[in-house]
Amino acid sequence: MADAAQNVMVSKLAEPSDHVMEMLPVQSSNIQSVGYDPETRTMRVAFKGGTEYEYPCTLPDEHQALINAPSIGKHLYEYHIKPGAAFMRVK
């Protein structure tokens, strides 16, 4: 599964967003903070291990659904990673 996600990550995006996003801390065992830029519709997720990923083409209500989910990590996986949504590692 990880290989398929990496293929999506590499093939669908080339450059990270150059917009500065405010990162808000979240209650999660694996995710440290989440940011969103409504101008570019880009969501950024920072993991506690130090890596960060961007998810372009994220609608505002998709971002809010992630923030409000009972399990942020599970929601991220189910609605952004598993379906093959575009993303890229930025840090």
For residue 57, what are the contacts with CB-CB under 8 A and spacing of at least 6? 41, 85, 86
Measured CA to CA, the distance from residue 60 to residue 38 in angstroms comes to: 7
- Pick the range with the lowest mean pLDDT from 10-14, 32-36, 44-48, 52-56: 10-14
Question: If you search the block for the tokens 């379906």, which residue do you land on?
Answer: 83
pLDDT of residue 15: 56
Of the two residues 53 and 86, the one the predictor is more confident about is: 53
For 60-81, the pLDDT digits (tens) are 999 999 999 999 999 998 887 7
For 32-37, what is the mean pLDDT?
95
Q: Which residues pair with 42 in a beta bridge?
A: 37
State pTM to two decimals.
0.77
